[in-house]
A and B are shown apart, each in its own frame.
Chain A
């Protein structure tokens, strides 16, 4: 199994290397190579998942070797190990990554067909898949960090793939820089643990903490380490307040958005929290839960008013990631992770569906030589149902899934999360969390159906514009159909109303908290009891709220009983706030960027007057001093040196007389020397 996991890790990397160096020379620019490599690794990971869950569900396999050894590990030194670890979390995540990556490869064959950097696109996808697999498989924090940065760079490369567009390269920079803030926190967190334990291995750190060996013997440091590592997740999973990069990241190709910015990379943060769950204290978890809740609410409210189809999906992604983070924070570990999996399927589907729509719109507009109309704007769509039936029906399934309608996978996981927040509030009294959860569920249903209705139903604004619009090719619709199938409940639980009986809940169990007793969150048994008590009310409530959201959207946009414009005018301030994304970008611009400029100016003044003054003063003093020094050098030191040289020269002049170059003189010296000995002996 371990060999298989290493193969899964290295095959995408091989694909990356081959495509980046030889991609242009391969037939069809090597798209078949990347796709088939991913197909192979997908089959391998499915095999790994089935064999792991079916035969050894309780075991954790790991293999590691020493990479660098510094000092003697037994006495003060440490060794840096590299290794892989396989548990149930890993294999499930692997299948998610490989599946979405494979489908995105397939989809991209159609979507990126005429791109000038076609082969490079596939090589970047390979690099991303390799890095993401590394994150999933690693058994230590160092490798986690390395691969964390590698997914960062591949995300950067893919967001800025069309770097001729200024907005795309800006978005790539923004994503990278915002992520860097989170990663800095994560790095500090890792170092806190490393300095104390002298190891990066999860296993060693966990067992150390379980034995009561806290970083610097302080619970505060443990909480701080947990929250700092969570900072990495905040950046990568686009949580408040670092969520601003993800909507801009939609400048990349749409399949990339589906792969990286919806299904896998942004879920890496959630995966990280799940990995670190055993050492997170109750306080750290509370912070995580609130960050998740705030993110979910903010993103959902922004999504209500946007017009760009991909922007709406981006905010919806942020909102759903907030859900997952909140679920992990409240202790609904399995529900949160399950939402990651189900969300990966339906959100990748939504993005690919949107990609299909954009692709078709773009081609239709291209036929009419219309380059002004935005192919991504909802206001330019409508009435696409009859022209793109496959996309329409699959999109409907995804929309139902994200809205949390029964019989879909989204319903299962979302219902469990809501029940988890209810249970948490009943145990700890944090009533804000379930309220936000339910509100966001309603908002999600509303904006998703708004998007759906505006895209596919009604009449097109200008029918002539889309007269040539066709359904996308099969390489694009097949991934949609596969993902639509995976968005139904049967793949996760046979009971469409409760996930807790399915294989997923038995395979993924909440790990035991290893932190000291006083800092532990409510134990898994207590929490499960509370959940089961509150499950039915949560279920009914979530169905009602989702129904209300859908009804509202249909009321406003399908039946047009109330004008959307009227509503927006009624809530003027709120509407403007939501439409402008609550002014986060502007605020960051004002506070951080302009603030930096102001600080820079102050620092410049400080530099020019005070620091330069000190430097110049010191330089003056040194100049005076060096004049004295020079005199000393020239007269005393040089005098001594010259005297020595003179003495040597005079001696040399005397001694060179001896060297006449005549053999007989030398011989005479030999004879004289011999005579001297001769007389000494006598």
Chain B
């Protein structure tokens, strides 16, 4: 048992456990915090896969941005924590059973199929390579993504600020 294997299992259990907690917990704010742990676990797994830049991005964007956004949403739409506690879920049992079978099937498939594994050399840092790729081969997607973000920001602003309270 190597050290990396132990780390892998620790982070995997963190990720999956908090994800499962999200499924079954009743408080939406608790679910949001569970999501934070899931995302951090995923970030740690990125580090294990030598994707240091992506791990940092994951923490910055997901945990620092999206999660905060979601928390704002929760606070803006929830009138007190107690009101939405009842009947949080629908069809929880059948869906989770079906999904458990689906997950089992997928895992069986992954386990039985033999992937052509090529273990690459562990790079020092991926940032240089990513920067070169972004400004050369992926120039166009990079620009388009920028435009997409701009549009998304404008659209979100427009939708959020156009709210007119009828009363």
Contact = CB atoms under 8 A, between A and B. Distances in A.
Tell me if chains A and B make direct contact, with any CB pair below 8 A.
yes
Interface of A: 664, 668, 675, 678, 682
A664 B90 contact: yes
B109 A682 contact: yes
7 contacts: A664-B90, A668-B95, A675-B102, A678-B102, A678-B105, A682-B105, A682-B109
Interface in B88-122: 90, 95, 102, 105, 109
Contacts of B109: 682
Contacts of A678: 102, 105
Contacts of B102: 675, 678
Contacts of A682: 105, 109
Contacts, number: 7
A668 B109 CA distance: 23
Nearest to A672: B98
Interface SS of B by simple majority: helix
A336 B113 CA distance: 118
B60 to A, nearest CB: 30
A664 B89 CA distance: 11
A475 B102 CA distance: 116
Interface in B107-156: 109
A668 B98 CA distance: 11
A678 B105 CA distance: 10
Nearest to B94: A668
A668 B90 CA distance: 12
Contacts of B90: 664
B51 to A, nearest CB: 28
B96 to A, nearest CB: 13
A664 B91 CA distance: 10
Contacts of B95: 668
A108 B158 CA distance: 82
A261 B144 CA distance: 88
B97 to A, nearest CB: 13
A668 B99 CA distance: 11
Nearest to B102: A675
Contacts of A668: 95
Contacts of A664: 90
Contacts of B105: 678, 682
B153 to A, nearest CB: 25
A678 B95 CA distance: 17
A682 B105 CA distance: 10
A675 B104 CA distance: 13
Nearest to A662: B90
A321 to B, nearest CB: 90
Q: When A and B form their complex, which 7 residue pairs have the shortest distance between CB atoms, in order from nearest?
A: A675-B102, A682-B109, A664-B90, A682-B105, A678-B105, A668-B95, A678-B102
A678 B90 CA distance: 25
A151 to B, nearest CB: 75
B109 to A, nearest CB: 7
A664 B109 CA distance: 27
A252 to B, nearest CB: 80
A675 B95 CA distance: 13
A668 B102 CA distance: 14
A189 B102 CA distance: 95
Interface string B55-97: 0000000000000000000000000000000000010000100
A588 to B, nearest CB: 88
A664 B92 CA distance: 12
A682 B110 CA distance: 12
Nearest to B95: A668
Contacts of A675: 102
A678 B109 CA distance: 11
A619 to B, nearest CB: 65
A461 B95 CA distance: 130
Nearest to A675: B102
Nearest to A679: B105
B28 to A, nearest CB: 17
A678 B106 CA distance: 9
A355 B150 CA distance: 94
A668 B105 CA distance: 18
A499 B102 CA distance: 123
A682 B102 CA distance: 13
B105 to A, nearest CB: 8
A668 B95 CA distance: 9
B89 to A, nearest CB: 10
A682 B113 CA distance: 12
A512 to B, nearest CB: 86
A164 to B, nearest CB: 74
Nearest to A664: B90
A19 to B, nearest CB: 67
B107 to A, nearest CB: 13
Nearest to B108: A682
B163 to A, nearest CB: 21
A148 B90 CA distance: 93
B75 to A, nearest CB: 23
A232 B10 CA distance: 116
A621 to B, nearest CB: 69
A424 B19 CA distance: 127
A562 B119 CA distance: 151
A398 to B, nearest CB: 96
A20 B95 CA distance: 91
A675 B102 CA distance: 8
A669 to B, nearest CB: 13
B143 to A, nearest CB: 32
